[in-house]
Amino acid sequence: MILCQLGYSVMHILLKIAMEQGLSHHVLVAYRHLLATAISAPIAYVLERKQRPSLSFLILVKIFFLALLGITVQQNIFFAGLSYTSPTVAGAMSTAIPALTFILAVLLRTEKVRIKTTKGRVKILGTVVCVTGALVFTFWRGHMFEGFWSKPLIIVPGTRIGNGSAEIDQSWIQGSLVILIGQVVFSAWIVFQGVIFEEYPAKLSFNAWMCFFASLQSLVEALIFERNMSAWQLGWNIQLVAVLYTGIVVSFLVYNLQLYCISEKGPLFSAIFFPVSLVILAILSAIFFAERLHLGSLVGAIIIIIGLYAVLWGKSGDGHDEEKENMPAEKENQIVAQKSASFCDISPV
């Protein structure tokens, strides 16, 4: 999941630069998922040809709406907000993902929380600590450290340059709120992936269908909102790099890695790593945009790591606890079987 967060963080930096140079986020979402579909569909067909489960119409409908919610709608909302703010703000808004995912997962019973056990309490506490660390990272400034460079390597309007302060205007606030809405939708997408994947447990095919439906949906959406044909033309520039990176690295590789983690460890395990992207983005922004790091950034990062390890420790006992819960039932079945065998062994008089 750390690799996934690195992939997302680089995407935020890359897309901020590309959109400032004229890349339409409507066109981006359409192109990247057309590319991801072209790559993932044949790979899924070959590798999962023998173990792919049957695909019913109902499952197809669920995957269609999953793609609509978590890809077409969420990404257009998120990228629209990113165009008004900075990558660091986008990372800061990801702090809501663990808490929102935790609540949704508990309500949908995809995440078990045993409050009476030590590990269950630590899991809850770790989630709170992780979110708290992200809030400290975002809102507490403190002492300002020296930057990596005196001048930014890449100048992008809307980023915090040099002195670490942001220009707070109406568009910045609106962009932050739009990104937050996108992260709420993203949290629901993570949870529903786990729910629907249980009905169709073929990771590569599952992601291929999501990308396919998302490409069709986003293509229609882009044709409606982006009628300027020049916006659809990509040259040999950063815009083409952004499309290739998001399509191959994020929509294909990161999505599959994320789905694997969700299927193996649950939605919370995947979501709890998202505050790590805040730390990665701060470092990348300091390198490329000359943003200055603060004491609050360092303290917040340490708190995030502590909370992350707490949740991972709490999650480590999930499988063992399930085995312990199943033990009484297994013992009871063994006793019944033994009694039945003893009764059958009695010879008639």
Q: What is the pLDDT of residues 122-165, one digit of tens each?
A: 777 877 887 787 777 667 767 766 655 556 555 554 444 444 44
Q: How far is CA 193 from CA 64, 147, 189, 283, 343, in A?
A: 12, 40, 6, 30, 49
262, 201 in Cβ contact below 8 A? no
pLDDT of residue 9: 85
- As a whole number of angstroms, the distance between CA 219 and CA 221 comes to 5
Residue 277: closest CA among 138, 122, 152: 138
Q: Which residues contact 170 (CB under 8 A, 6 or more apart)?
A: none
Top-confidence range, 74-83, 106-115, 298-307:
74-83
- As a whole number of angstroms, the distance between CA 183 and CA 73 comes to 11
Query: In this structure, what DSSP letter does residue 92 have?
Result: H
Whether 232 shows a pLDDT value over 80: the answer reads: yes
pLDDT of residue 149: 55
For 277, the domain range is 2-345
pLDDT of residue 32: 92
Dig out the tokens for 313 from the structure.
């420790």
164, 295 in Cβ contact below 8 A? no
Region label for 184, one of left (φ > 0), alpha (ψ between -120 and 50) or beta (otherwise):
alpha
278, 95 in Cβ contact below 8 A? yes
pLDDT of residue 153: 53
Dig out the tokens for 153 from the structure.
């390597």
pLDDT of residue 290: 66
Residue with tokens 């929380």, as numbered in its chain? 113
Whether 345 shows a pLDDT value over 60: the answer reads: no
**What mean pLDDT is reported for the chain?**
77
Residue with tokens 């990176």, as numbered in its chain? 245
Structural domains of the chain, count: 1
148, 322 in Cβ contact below 8 A? no
- As a whole number of angstroms, the distance between CA 225 and CA 178 comes to 18
195, 111 in Cβ contact below 8 A? no
pLDDT of residue 348: 46
Residue 138: closest CA among 281, 338, 311, 342: 281
Query: In this structure, what DSSP letter does residue 1 have?
Result: -
Task: Tell me what the mean pLDDT of segment 65-87 comes to.
Answer: 84
Query: In this structure, what DSSP letter does residue 153 have?
Result: S
Amino acid identity at 209: W
Query: In this structure, what DSSP letter does residue 229 have?
Result: G
* pTM exceeds 0.85 for this model: no
Q: pLDDT tens digit string along 151-210?
A: 655 555 444 444 444 444 566 677 777 887 888 888 888 889 888 888 888 889 999 999
Residue with tokens 């989630």, as numbered in its chain? 127
